[in-house]
Homo-oligomer: A and B are copies of this chain.
Amino acid sequence: MLTFLRPSIRAMSGYTPGEQPRAGSIIKLNTNENPYPPSPRVFDAIREVLTGDRLRKYPDPLGTHFRKVAGRVLDVDPDGILMGNGSDDLLTILTRAFVPEGGMILSPTPSYLLYRTLAELQGARFDTVPYSSDWSIPAVWPAVDASLTFLANPNSPSGTSIHQTDIEHLAEQLRGPLIVDEAYADFAEENSLALARGGRVIVTRTLSKSYSLAGMRFGFAVATPALIAQLIKVKDSYNCDVLSLAAAAAALEDQEHMRGNRARILATRARLERELTRLGFTVTPSQANFVWARRSDRPVKAIFEELKRRNILVRYMVYERYGDGLRVSVGTDAEIDQLLIELAAIV
């Protein structure tokens, strides 16, 4: 049966998600989860639909209630919203909608490693345009013919953001769609919703980070209603379950809870940036819920490993031409205190 697999599938190595240890006593700062629990309204909403009748019946394939809530909260047309089983589901839907076999997916580099995987799965080529040393993008974009261009904004691992005027300028040059992957936008100063409303870009969002719902798998895309109507054909009919739909709507309804957690995370982020710099790291100013910390004096892999031995998990990443670094999620103040104590002993 293996011989029947498409050659591109057999050849690829697959995306490796960050470690998800099941054990209890680890300080987990490696996959940018929110350190604070979701809104109490999420639990109420889940309990309300946790009935035999709701579980045994199919969910609403269009997520009408969720779209209405999201439309109101974000000031977009509900018909311009597409729900997804996590934003990875949406990135897959967009890839399948726009990229033919042999097509081209492009993104700036270093960025989210999944974009390459999506290209491989689709049998498409993958190419990158390097960020400049100040994490800006070229004013004259050198690869305008891609079937689809992904821009993670804020970007991972750098945590940096491209300004809206530059994004608009990029979209104008492209002969294909620009997807602005806004997984971390709630932690940033700007976002591209206005460009999405105007049909210039497609925005994707996740509830995994700012809404503390990584375990629930929920994301959404924002585009014009005409485009969303086409993308609905590409998604699985019932891609979101009845509990996650209820949880997602409740989470978006409670903006106060999200903003409170956001404020705490931004305060801790500022302290983390300051203290890591004091410990000799080169820290890129972050617009996300993580920081990207490098060292000019030596590779950081040994630091990553020593932290792991001390039960603190951060993400070690190495990029061709950019060297290596530690991507550290902004945890609670107590978690970051512990990290800084251990780091001070290590470096």
Contacts from A to B (Cβ < 8 Å)? 1-2, 4-6, 9-10, 12-15, 17-18, 20, 22, 28, 31, 33-38, 42-43, 46-47, 49-61, 64, 85-86, 88-89, 92, 96-102, 121, 123, 147-148, 176-177, 199, 202, 208, 212-217, 223-224, 226-227, 230, 232-234, 236-244, 247
Contact = CB atoms under 8 A, between A and B. Distances in A.
Interface centre among A36, A101, A147, A148 (most CB of B within 10 A): A101
Contacts of A89: 236, 239
B9 A234 contact: yes
Determine how many copies of this chain the complex contains.
2
Contact of A98 (B6, B216, B244): B6
A20 B88 contact: no
12 contacts: A14-B233, A15-B237, A17-B238, A36-B56, A59-B215, A59-B217, A85-B217, A88-B238, A96-B121, A101-B102, A215-B241, A215-B243
Contacts of A31: 58
A346 B17 CA distance: 58
A241 B238 contact: no
A338 B13 CA distance: 55
A248 to B, nearest CB: 11
A232 B227 CA distance: 30
A43 B50 contact: yes
